[in-house]
Chain A
Amino acid sequence: MGDALLELKQISKTFFGVKALDDINLTIQRGRVLGLIGENGAGKSTLMNIIGGVVQPDAGSQLVFDGQPYAPKKPAEAAAAGIAFIHQELNLFTNLTIAENIFLEDFPRRRFGPLSMIDRRALRNQTRDLLMSIDLDLSPDALIDDLSPGHRQLVEIAKALHVDAQLIIFDEPTTSLTARETRHLFEIIERLRADGKTMVYISHILGDVLQMADDIAVLRDGKLVGSDTHDAFDINRMIALMIGRDLAQLFPSHTHTPSAEVVLNVANVSEPGIVKDVSFHLHGGEVLGLFGLMGSGRTELARIIFGLDRFSSGEIHIRGQRLDHNSPIKSIRNGTAFVTENRREEGLMMEATIVDNVGLLSLNDHARTSLRVVDQSALVQDVRQIAGALHLKSGEITTSPAKSLSGGNQQKTVIGKWLMSDPAIFILDEPTRGVDVGAKHEIYSIINQLAADGNSVLMISSELDELIGMCDRILVMNQGEICGEFHGRSYDEEAILRAAFRESGGEMTLDQPHNGQGGSHNG
């Protein structure tokens, strides 16, 4: 105990005058697991990038690794020092085999006359031993391309073990894993801890951090706001430290009450490999949360409801009307809006002006004569009105391109585009991703206002806090199935997380088919 492996002293980092990290002092103890938490933009990535040699800290910052001053100028230096990263985006060569990836930098060799050849047999045997040590029963010759995300992650761990990394940093390792893969990963981490490895575990899933970490450090707005052993923390304290205020302040108060009317009825919708027997109702004036980990099928479900993807069985009704051969065009006609999770790729034309972006959906509404000439001045006027209502901060809307906007204002632009078509059902997929806290609050207010006006909102998010703060009901998805439904204002956060991971007991307390929200009638 008390033996420091990595000491961070007065670490600051300024990007263009903005402090991304402000005087961080943190010690990572040898043989312990440090849980690092914080909101998006809190500085976790910057801190890890400094440790990994991707960016250099400001002058005055000091790192001490294993008793030596440590100032990596590039990632290779960090690797050489014995620091390994297990990333969300994996750093494996998918066209190579497991063995080749692990031994990429130091293939076992044998002499063949004047030539130095790769010793394939040694390569295979050593790889097999490594894989065995982490219970990974795969052929060393398997291509990375053919592996699941979970297996890939374990191969990365094997690689870290091979180079005998002293410090292994896990950055959101579970986001693309299934429940079983996650469990396997946790077992491996436990075993590594027992072997005396030092690790940093970064995750948004606070329950995991609480379970895995010996020490916990909390970052907020570039500052270290809390650092202690894990006994000193519970979920509420972690959240309070992360957001710096009570949840109640971040989320505007509810002004809406769901009506009895079922607006959207999804009944037994299945598509092999994507979603399985999904059923739920969405009421008028309701904000319905859909929680699930990445890959749980939540985005796929949204795409199916909106008519972008097909489903093989089941029915979807909107206001009692069955949807057949649905398409985005029909969905829009039915008053459905879909704010996608990836606004750059699916939401905005980055080069086009705000007017062109916001006006895209309602071009036909602004067309005159049979030649369908766009009435530009009317369009600009309408866009200006929407932009004002959403408090869009931008340059002149007729000339500023979408790419000139901040993340929050880009998201408002997408929302504005849909408002122009006057929909009644909003599917919002990760509406606050990549948006700063202030803009988050504004988006939450917009969502509340939509519901208060009688619209229905299906809000998809991987941030449980915001669903808890916003939603009248929360559905939990796991591996394409809805595996839990939670009601009311006092949610049991752990139960929701359990359902998302589908651990034991998930369903038994949650099995509450057709709820007390009023007489729901199937269409």
Chain B
Amino acid sequence: MDDIANQSPPPDSPIEVGQPSAQGAAAGASAAPSAASRPAPTGIWRFVRRLLLSEYFILYLMIVYFIILVPLLPTLSRPQNLANLLSNTWPLLAVAVGQTFVLIIAGIDLSQGSVMALTSVIGAAIFATAASPDVLSNSPLWGIVITENGGLLSGNPLSVPVGVAVMFGVAALIGLFNGTAVARFNMPAFMVTLVGMIFFSAFAIFLTQSENIRNLPEAYIQLGKGDIVSLYFGEQAESQIPRRQIYSFLTYPMVIAVGLAVTAHFMLSRTVFGRQVYAIGMNRQAAEISGIPVRRVITLVFMFSAFCAAVGAILFSARLEAGRPTLGAGTALLDIIGATVIGGTSLFGGKGKVLWTFFGVLFFVLLSNTLNLMNLPSTQIDMVKGGVIVGAALLDVLRNRLLSREGT
């Protein structure tokens, strides 16, 4: 409809009164894609438009970026770097999956980083196998939960399952708090989760007096860095292969994160719950009148977001081999929300996919990795990341404009 209308503007000129420059611009062979090229889209322009509108755009962009940089940064394509790149992907993916759900209901969850910090500390306080009084004796937990013999259930064979269950429980409670405040009391998600972010990360720091809790049990550490299948490239000359020549291929964090992402993707795209999540994001009033339990769904979404943050906390802290109260602090939130938005999930709600988030996370990790390989200082890395997020937001606007121009 719109297209036809645009191609054949009404014969009478008075309509154009507001735009005195219209005739000049249209006549000139300027590259302005808006007016000049719409009536007869050339092959290239049509191709670019299709590329921009493709939901795999960010994947294509990533591949191009990778191919361009490989000759410039030879380390980039080395197996060790690729293994490292992937291992950075999984914890971020787990957390970003939760953020995707929240963004789709037109919310935002700023508290995910603090959930990671708090749950990693609480988990460690349960299953740490030893603790040094020099480090932790100032902690309010010292002598009650943590002693020189480690955490509450130190040495108990069930310490890790119980600890992980408690971590999920704490996360679910925080999510319940966020969700209730947003859904029942109609508080803005930004406010509620900002308060959560400040409060829970401060609480985590208070619990350990900003020390890390080390000496985590081997079973837990496996969750963050354990290999299931590893690769060795080279001759089997020696009986002992040096550890640094073995490259992780299939790891526990990968299985956990991908499993979570696949489940979430299924939930979002196939189940009634997923449809309800989209409906709320697109039009909350219509959803409510159509009998969707809006408050329950919103609460569940925030709980799921916190749960995903706890999964991310497990993957991160197991890899770091420490319960860390500053986990998820600093620019971690930028990574989480940035990666989700770059994937194409809209901050305005109603639009997003777990698969997109996966692409976004991959791109973000690749970007960080290449910037690191260029030996840029971290300040500049953050500046570039910020710029890329602005670019992603602009891209979203551009895509929407293209879509509405096509009139669908």
Q: What residues make up the interface of A, taking CB atoms closer than 8 Å to B? A: 14-17, 56-59, 73, 306, 308, 328-329, 331-332, 338, 340, 345-352, 356, 359-361, 363-364, 367, 371-374, 400-401, 403-404, 417, 421
Task: Flag if B408 contacts A56 (CB, 8 Å).
Answer: no
With A363-B272, A401-B408: A352-B10 Cβ-Cβ less than 8 Å: no
Q: Which residues in A have their C-beta under 8 angstroms from that of B1? A: 404
Q: Which residues in A have their C-beta under 8 angstroms from that of B292? A: 360
Task: Flag if A56 contacts B291 (CB, 8 Å).
Answer: no
| Distance A510 CA – B296 CA, assembled complex (angstroms) | 46
Interface string of B285-316 (1 = CB under 8 A from A): 11111111100000000000000000000000
| Distance A56 CA – B12 CA, assembled complex (angstroms) | 10
Q: Which residues in A have their C-beta under 8 angstroms from that of B48? A: none
Least distance between A59 CB and chain B CB atoms (Å):
5
A-B contact pairs, 20 of them (CB 8 A): A16-B5, A17-B8, A56-B17, A59-B12, A308-B289, A328-B289, A328-B290, A328-B291, A340-B289, A345-B286, A347-B289, A348-B286, A349-B278, A349-B286, A350-B283, A351-B350, A352-B278, A360-B279, A360-B290, A363-B276
Task: Flag if A404 contacts B279 (CB, 8 Å).
Answer: no
Least distance between A438 CB and chain B CB atoms (Å):
18
* B408 contact from A328, A360, A404, Cβ within 8 A: A404
Can you list the 5 inter-chain pairs with the closest CB atoms, starting with the nearest?
Answer: A349-B282, A56-B14, A332-B291, A372-B272, A363-B272
B138: interface (CB < 8 Å): no
Task: Flag if B293 contacts A329 (CB, 8 Å).
Answer: yes
Residue of A nearest to B273 (CB): A372
Least distance between A246 CB and chain B CB atoms (Å):
33
* A58 contact from B14, B273, B275, Cβ within 8 A: B14
Task: Flag if A363 contacts B275 (CB, 8 Å).
Answer: yes
Task: Flag if B10 contacts A346 (CB, 8 Å).
Answer: no
Least distance between A428 CB and chain B CB atoms (Å):
13
Interface string of B1-37 (1 = CB under 8 A from A): 1000100101011110100000000000000000000
B270: interface (CB < 8 Å): yes
Residue of B nearest to A379 (CB): B275
For B1, B12, B288, B291, the residue with the greatest tally of chain A CB atoms inside 10 Å of its CB is B291
Q: Which residues in A have their C-beta under 8 angstroms from that of B275? A: 356, 359-360, 363, 374
B43: interface (CB < 8 Å): no
Least distance between A204 CB and chain B CB atoms (Å):
27
Task: Flag if B283 contacts A348 (CB, 8 Å).
Answer: yes
Residue of B nearest to A60 (CB): B12
| Distance A401 CA – B400 CA, assembled complex (angstroms) | 14
Residue of B nearest to A17 (CB): B10
Interface string of B264-284 (1 = CB under 8 A from A): 000000111101101100110
Interface size on B, residues (CB 8 A): 32
| Distance A328 CA – B288 CA, assembled complex (angstroms) | 7
Q: Which residues in B have their C-beta under 8 angstroms from that of A57? A: 14
Least distance between A430 CB and chain B CB atoms (Å):
15
Q: Which residues in A have their C-beta under 8 angstroms from that of B273? A: 372
| Distance A417 CA – B279 CA, assembled complex (angstroms) | 13
Residue of B nearest to A417 (CB): B290
| Distance A371 CA – B271 CA, assembled complex (angstroms) | 7
Least distance between B264 CB and chain A CB atoms (Å):
13
B38: interface (CB < 8 Å): no
Q: From residue 99 to 134 of chain B, which have CB atoms closer than 8 A to chain A?
A: none
For A14, A15, A346, A417, the residue with the greatest tally of chain B CB atoms inside 10 Å of its CB is A346
Task: Flag if A346 contacts B286 (CB, 8 Å).
Answer: yes
| Distance A404 CA – B403 CA, assembled complex (angstroms) | 12
| Distance A185 CA – B382 CA, assembled complex (angstroms) | 63
| Distance A374 CA – B273 CA, assembled complex (angstroms) | 9
Least distance between B95 CB and chain A CB atoms (Å):
24
With A329-B291, A372-B272: A56-B15 Cβ-Cβ less than 8 Å: yes
B407: interface (CB < 8 Å): yes
Query: Could you list 19 further interchain pairs (A-B, Cβ under 8 angstroms) beyond the known A56-B14, A328-B290, A364-B272?
Result: A14-B10, A17-B8, A57-B14, A59-B14, A329-B291, A340-B289, A349-B350, A352-B279, A360-B290, A360-B292, A361-B291, A363-B272, A363-B275, A372-B271, A373-B272, A374-B271, A374-B272, A374-B275, A401-B408
Q: Which residues in A have their C-beta under 8 angstroms from that of B15? A: 56
Q: Which residues in A have their C-beta under 8 angstroms from that of B283? A: 345-346, 348-350
B399: interface (CB < 8 Å): no
Q: Which residues in B have their C-beta under 8 angstroms from that of A332? A: 290-291
Least distance between B337 CB and chain A CB atoms (Å):
22
For B1, B279, B286, the residue with the greatest tally of chain A CB atoms inside 10 Å of its CB is B286
For B1, B10, B407, the residue with the greatest tally of chain A CB atoms inside 10 Å of its CB is B10
Least distance between A380 CB and chain B CB atoms (Å):
13
Least distance between A481 CB and chain B CB atoms (Å):
25
| Distance A57 CA – B13 CA, assembled complex (angstroms) | 10
Q: Which residues in B have their C-beta under 8 angstroms from that of A404? A: 1, 407-408
Q: Which residues in B have their C-beta under 8 angstroms from that of A401? A: 408
Task: Flag if A374 contacts B289 (CB, 8 Å).
Answer: no
Task: Flag if A400 contacts B270 (CB, 8 Å).
Answer: no
Least distance between B119 CB and chain A CB atoms (Å):
27
Residue of B nearest to A347 (CB): B286
Least distance between B183 CB and chain A CB atoms (Å):
14
| Distance A346 CA – B284 CA, assembled complex (angstroms) | 8
Q: From residue 361 to 382 of chain B, which have CB atoms closer than 8 A to chain A?
A: none
| Distance A144 CA – B1 CA, assembled complex (angstroms) | 42
Q: Which residues in A have their C-beta under 8 angstroms from that of B5? A: 16-17
Q: Which residues in A have their C-beta under 8 angstroms from that of B271? A: 367, 371-374
* B287 contact from A16, A308, A359, A360, Cβ within 8 A: A360
Task: Flag if A346 contacts B289 (CB, 8 Å).
Answer: yes
Least distance between B336 CB and chain A CB atoms (Å):
25
Least distance between A376 CB and chain B CB atoms (Å):
8
Q: Which residues in B have their C-beta under 8 angstroms from that of A352? A: 278-279, 282, 350
| Distance A350 CA – B283 CA, assembled complex (angstroms) | 8
With A345-B283, A374-B272: A400-B10 Cβ-Cβ less than 8 Å: no
Task: Flag if A346 contacts B351 (CB, 8 Å).
Answer: no
For B5, B283, B408, the residue with the greatest tally of chain A CB atoms inside 10 Å of its CB is B283
| Distance A57 CA – B15 CA, assembled complex (angstroms) | 8
Task: Flag if A16 contacts B10 (CB, 8 Å).
Answer: yes
Least distance between B270 CB and chain A CB atoms (Å):
5
For B14, B270, B290, B350, the residue with the greatest tally of chain A CB atoms inside 10 Å of its CB is B290
* A400 contact from B8, B14, B290, B408, Cβ within 8 A: B408
| Distance A59 CA – B283 CA, assembled complex (angstroms) | 43
| Distance A320 CA – B285 CA, assembled complex (angstroms) | 29
Q: Which residues in B have their C-beta under 8 angstroms from that of A421? A: 291
| Distance A373 CA – B13 CA, assembled complex (angstroms) | 55
| Distance A56 CA – B8 CA, assembled complex (angstroms) | 19
Least distance between B278 CB and chain A CB atoms (Å):
7
Task: Flag if A58 contacts B12 (CB, 8 Å).
Answer: yes
Residue of A nearest to B6 (CB): A16
| Distance A359 CA – B272 CA, assembled complex (angstroms) | 11
Q: Which residues in A have their C-beta under 8 angstroms from that of B286? A: 345-349, 360
Least distance between B282 CB and chain A CB atoms (Å):
4
Q: Which residues in A have their C-beta under 8 angstroms from that of B293? A: 329
| Distance A332 CA – B270 CA, assembled complex (angstroms) | 23
| Distance A346 CA – B1 CA, assembled complex (angstroms) | 25
Q: Which residues in B have their C-beta under 8 angstroms from that of A359? A: 275
| Distance A363 CA – B10 CA, assembled complex (angstroms) | 45
Task: Flag if B408 contacts A338 (CB, 8 Å).
Answer: no
Task: Flag if A361 contacts B17 (CB, 8 Å).
Answer: no
Least distance between B170 CB and chain A CB atoms (Å):
26
Residue of A nearest to B281 (CB): A349
Least distance between B167 CB and chain A CB atoms (Å):
25
Interface string of B165-205 (1 = CB under 8 A from A): 00000000000000000000000000000000000000000
Residue of A nearest to B292 (CB): A360
Least distance between B14 CB and chain A CB atoms (Å):
4
Q: Which residues in A have their C-beta under 8 angstroms from that of B282? A: 349-352
For A56, A73, A363, A367, the residue with the greatest tally of chain B CB atoms inside 10 Å of its CB is A363
Least distance between A77 CB and chain B CB atoms (Å):
12
